[in-house]
Amino acid sequence: MIGAIIQARVGSSRFPNKIFAEIEGFPLIWHVFNRVKASSFIQKIVVATSVDKKDDSLEEWCVRNNIFVFRGNKENVLERFYFAAKEFNLSIIVRITADDPFKDPKIIDNAIAILINEKLDFVYNNNPPSFPEGLDTEVFKYEALEIAFMNARDPFEKEHVTPYLYSHPDIIKQKNISLGKNLSHLRWTIDYPEDLEMAREVYKFLYKKKPLFEFQDILDLLEERPYIKEINAKVERSAFYKNLKY
């Protein structure tokens, strides 16, 4: 079964409770879920959160909205993913972070198709990155996840799920999807209040006309209203990219 695992926690150190921040009348996590749900390949979506009591409210929200939820290790997200994938019998996993309100189902589907058609273990579009941060897509087989779970030792590998896969191309057959131009300087994820302000501005102009607006729709809007991308332009890129060894 092809499934998406959305890693989410209420207690973010940089921006607590951001997953419930409202954008056009719905919480951020709701938008992420519905954008992923639009994939043509994904058959099951699981929100994987921690056993921390702070995350009780997220579990309750998932139950109210009939969304599968799994609770696991707070710090070792790799372990959380592994046991979530195992419990829900997922053979192919799409890793989704809950702070990305612009996930594009077409980009996700392209990565899944490449993984299947080219008989690969791991397909991604962020190593090296060329897409805007927040459109990151990582798809891997359960067997690859199991190898990482059994062998990863570094805390960074355990926190971010996929670094072990990137660093072992000798045993994990993998491929990077390039955009063909570098737009990785664009920040389309939410870690800080400025990011949320930027996302709300994009949704304000696009959501009502086209709820599942796409990558190109956002680029067109930023061309038309360049002030939007300046809102969070000074926020530093995720530590994930600083520490990942290409």
pLDDT in tens, 137-150: 999 999 999 999 99
Average pLDDT over the chain reads 94
Question: Which domains does the chain possess?
Answer: 2-243 (3.90.550.10)
Q: Considering the entire predicted model, what is its pTM?
A: 0.93
Using pLDDT thresholds of 50, 70 and 90, give the confidence band for residue 238. Answer: low
Whether the pLDDT of residue 229 is over 80: the answer is yes
Instruction: Provide CB contacts within 8 A for 209, sequence distance 6+.
Output: none
Distance between CA atoms of residues 150 and 104, nearest Å: 31
Residue 165 is classified by DSSP as H
> Cα 35–200–100 angle (5° rounding)?
40
Statement: residue 44 has pLDDT above 70: yes
The whole-number pLDDT of residue 11 equals 74
Q: Which of 53, 25, 151, 45 is nearest to 96 (CA)?
A: 45
> HSE-up of 149 (CA within 13 Å, CB side)?
18
Q: For residue range 112-137, what is the model confidence (pLDDT) as tens digits?
A: 999 999 999 999 999 999 999 999 99
